[in-house]
Structure 1
Amino acid sequence: MRLYAIGDIHGRLDLLERMHERIRTEIERDRPADWRVIHLGDYVDRGPDSRGVIDFLIGAKASDARNITLAGNHDHGFLEFLGLPSMESLFMQNGGVQTAASYGVADLSSGLVRFHSELLQAVPVAHTSFVLSCGYSVSFGDFFFCHAGIRPGVPLYDQDPDDLLWIRYQFLLYPGLHPKVVVHGHTITPKPELLPNRVNVDTGAFGSGVLTAFVVEGAAKRLLTVER
């Protein structure tokens, strides 16, 4: 089975479309016995077209269930804001204004209550259902895929969803091996990190214009990048 794991997208529909085109071309050319495309979460915020990204992923999953979508902390932050608006929320403090604008809601001058009400009306039920449907992790062979990472020492089947969405330094700085190689995003790096115990493919697409995927098939491992 060939596996593609795509890092944090953050509203960059242009890069996501380009990445899927590259992947589709490879699959049609190489005809692997089976494949999965795993999206590691953070589909919304910061970039210009969060709505378009969610629409695209809904369509991709509908056309082929081998497209897998995992949840990121920003995706959950989006739902949390829709449920309980706050100016101190992750959504409002970290790129949610750009997400709202992609749904046609851009005016904060009339206050948070009005802004939230308009956004609530603008976001399709299919979009909230999509985020709710995203899992926290998936595993194939020697690789474990999630958004942020795992808590070292805790069995993979017993990981806390909050850790899978949010963990950072306890995981990133851990020097030992895990039960499987963890493939993740969440922490932006100038270049992908390929380490003995983890692979980080978050290259900050919303700002850098570089979207990265990790590709593994048997013993062969490589990176796939698209740029604006």
Structure 2
Amino acid sequence: MIYAIGDIHGQKAMLDRALLLIAADGGADAPLVFLGDYTDRGPDSRGVIDTLIHGRDAGLDWTFIKGNHDRMFLRFVEEGVTHDPAIKSGLSWLNPRLGGDRTLESYGIVPTAPASYIRDADGLETLVNYPTTEGDLTLQELVALARDRVPEAHRQFLATNPLMHEAKGHLFVHAGIRPGVAIADQVEDDLIWIRDGWLDNHDDHGSMVVHGHTALDEPEHFGNRIDLDGGAGYGRPLVPAVLDDGQWFTLHDDGRRPLRPAG
């Protein structure tokens, strides 16, 4: 058996419940793959990362995939970058729609009012003022404070997670793969961001691809891929899943439910 959890997005209480469901189904030592996006939008990104690191350091058979939100968080702390070219709207990672503000709040950088932005010549949302309990901060001041507050262990965790994991004839990845491109030739931006050309593709990819990134109302099986992002970042339940003897199931308080392609 192997278990999997989709996008957590700072929802530590939901993560704790999902881990209890997995422990009840397969034991606390069961192999488990996390599909990335541990941070942003939810209230306790710090607590989520603490939980994941604690499990890893306790020797649990846990595998952590890198997500696009995890990379955005790390780039902000390490480089002061607030934009990713994949975000065509030009929104800043700090914008509540992306949820970086909630991540910083979980590290004790508490906003007291909405941040102020302008659009630069390239249409990118650029921070002017970030009001906090420690004063009104410029971007440079905010980055410096984040570097002070985010533990090095958290930064190393986010920096060293792999982009994919292969097990039991399945490929686990955050967003998906570029159809027609060999697995060895896939690039990071596709693996953590792809939607166009992927979600509507029905090819057999050689392995069943298990991913998150694209939020649904609940996990779904599409025949050639399984999307386990049930929208926890938007307040919907975090639903773990298990592969057992070639069959997928989701886990709930009342037990397992089959996860099969529609029809």
TM-score when normalising by structure 2: 0.79
Aligned counterpart for 2:198 among listed residues 171, 178, 201: 171
Gaps of 5+ in 1: none
Quickly say closer, same or farther: Cα 1:176–1:85, change in 2 above 3 A: same
Q: CA deviation at 1:87?
A: 5.2
Partner residue in 2 for 1:71 = 66
Query: Match of 2:195, as an amino acid?
Result: R
Take 1:161 and 1:87, find their aligned partners in 2: how far apart are those partners? 18
Q: Secondary structure at the match of 2:238?
A: strand
Partner residue in 1 for 2:148 = 121
Q: Secondary structure at the match of 1:148?
A: coil
Residues 21-100 of structure 1: matches in 2 within 5 Å? 21-28=20-27, 35-86=30-81, 88=83, 91-93=93-95, 94-100=98-104
Q: Secondary structure at the match of 2:39?
A: coil
Count of residue pairs the alignment pairs up = 221
Q: CA deviation at 1:86?
A: 4.8
Q: Secondary structure at the match of 1:206?
A: helix
Q: 8 Å contact 1:42–1:73 — kept in the other structure?
A: yes
Q: CA deviation at 1:64?
A: 2.5
Range 68-77 or range 17-26, more displaced? 17-26
Find out whether 1:205 has 2:207 as its counterpart.
no
Q: 8 Å contact 2:218–2:231 — kept in the other structure?
A: no
Q: Secondary structure at the match of 1:17?
A: helix
Take 2:222 and 2:150, find their aligned partners in 1: how far apart are those partners? 39
Partner residue in 2 for 1:4 = 3
Residues 127-142 of structure 1: matches in 2 within 5 Å? 127-142=154-169
Q: Secondary structure at the match of 2:101?
A: helix
Take 1:88 and 1:154, find their aligned partners in 2: how far apart are those partners? 27
Take 1:137 and 1:225, find their aligned partners in 2: how far apart are those partners? 26
Aligned counterpart for 1:191 among listed residues 196, 202, 218: 218
Gaps of 5+ in 2: 85-91, 112-129, 254-263
Quickly say closer, same or farther: Cα 1:116–1:138, change in 2 above 3 A: same
Flag the structure with higher helix content: 1
Q: Secondary structure at the match of 2:198?
A: helix
Q: CA deviation at 1:120?
A: 1.0
Quickly say closer, same or farther: Cα 1:43–1:104, change in 2 above 3 A: same
Q: CA deviation at 1:84?
A: 2.8
Take 1:193 and 1:58, find their aligned partners in 2: how far apart are those partners? 28
Take 1:115 and 1:218, find their aligned partners in 2: how far apart are those partners? 49
Aligned counterpart for 2:245 among listed residues 199, 218, 222: 218
Partner residue in 2 for 1:103 = 107
Which is higher, the Rg of structure 1 or of structure 2?
2
Q: CA deviation at 1:88?
A: 4.6
Take 2:73 and 2:248, find their aligned partners in 1: how far apart are those partners? 33
Partner residue in 2 for 1:112 = 139
Cα-Cα RMSD: 1.8
Q: 8 Å contact 2:45–2:106 — kept in the other structure?
A: yes
Take 2:246 and 2:183, find their aligned partners in 1: how far apart are those partners? 22
Aligned counterpart for 2:181 among listed residues 150, 154, 165: 154
Q: CA deviation at 1:174?
A: 0.6
1:123-154 Cα distance to aligned partner (Å, 9 max, x none)? 00000001012110001122100000000011
Take 1:135 and 1:92, find their aligned partners in 2: how far apart are those partners? 25
